A and B are shown apart, each in its own frame.
Chain A
Amino acid sequence: MTDITEQEIDVFVGAVNHYFDQITGEKAKIRSSFLAEGDIRPPIYDFTGLISIGGDYRGCIYFSATRVMLMRLLLAMREPRQTDPHLLDAVGEIANTLAGNAREHFGETMAISVPMTFQGAAERLRMTVRERPYVIMIKWKQYEAAVIVDIAKK
């Protein structure tokens, strides 16, 4: 398997910026991006959406966000329902959108799954492909989220 490049990681940074700009009219700030290794594990917030990657690529893409960020995003979409199932729906849809947008660069041979979502602890988050997944830390207003890119080319 071949690692994806730093330029390809930037595709996800671009997708994050585009998402926040389109939905809220305000770009998110990329606080930092780094390779998770050793004691530095990828951050997991209140809600996480996971997309499995197949086709010519292998691995997963996660979007993880705090409850309050998701609630603010739903307000930006004029969505009044803010229950946990709706927040799970939102986090899955965002993960799906970021992965789907990345196909503009990676092409249709990067197959993406429907989202799997979960709340709280990260037992189901295991790095599957890269020993050191790439973490993009996001701040929008004062709210935090992260995109974790754990994919490689077959």
Chain B
Amino acid sequence: MRLLIVDDSSIIRSRIARIMNDPRLPTLMIVGMARNGAEALELFSQSHPELVTMDLTMPEMDGVECTEAMTNLNPEAHILVVSALSDKATAIKALKKGAKGFLYKPFTDEQLIGALLEVMS
């Protein structure tokens, strides 16, 4: 399964990438890492990932807008929002725009693995 990681923090991008090697997850090939929604959309169009981890608060294009654009391109894409924005309205908005799951930051490795497995199922 091809994976795209979207977050404006390089620390978070690397952390998510490291967790992807966990044996509980299926084999995931990281096809790109993006720092904002615009970059993510370009990579999404080029590399057609089936799985995306999506931050929300990012420069240029935010994660909700990007989720909507990706869902328009491929409604089958599994998008997991990984964000610190902890109000219910934001989570509902992201899910309405096509996200398949929502994980709040700060997260543990276990929580990310659980959320990814849930989104992929």
Binding site for B on A (CB under 8 A): 18-19, 22-23, 74, 77-79, 81, 86, 89-90, 92-93, 96-104, 106-108, 112-114
Q: Return 30 A-B CB contacts under 8 Å, by A number.
A: A22-B106, A22-B107, A23-B106, A74-B11, A78-B18, A79-B14, A79-B15, A86-B10, A86-B11, A89-B10, A89-B11, A90-B9, A93-B9, A93-B11, A96-B57, A96-B84, A97-B105, A97-B106, A98-B84, A100-B83, A101-B104, A101-B105, A103-B85, A103-B86, A103-B87, A104-B86, A107-B87, A112-B57, A112-B85, A113-B57
For the complex, would chain B's binding face be called helix, strand, loop or mixed by DSSP majority? loop
**B96-115 interface mask toward A, CB cutoff 8 Å, 1 = contact, 0 = none?**
00000000111110000000
- A18 cross-chain contacts in B, Cβ below 8 A: 106
Besides A74-B11, A96-B84, A104-B87, 11 more A-B contacts (Cβ < 8 Å) are A79-B11, A79-B15, A81-B14, A92-B9, A96-B9, A99-B84, A101-B84, A103-B85, A108-B85, A108-B89, A112-B57
Q: Which 3 A-B pairs have the closest CB atoms?
A: A100-B84, A104-B86, A103-B87
Find out whether the CB atom of B57 lies under 8 angstroms from the CB atom of A19.
Answer: no
Binding site for A on B (CB under 8 A): 8-12, 14-15, 18, 57-59, 83-87, 89-90, 104-108
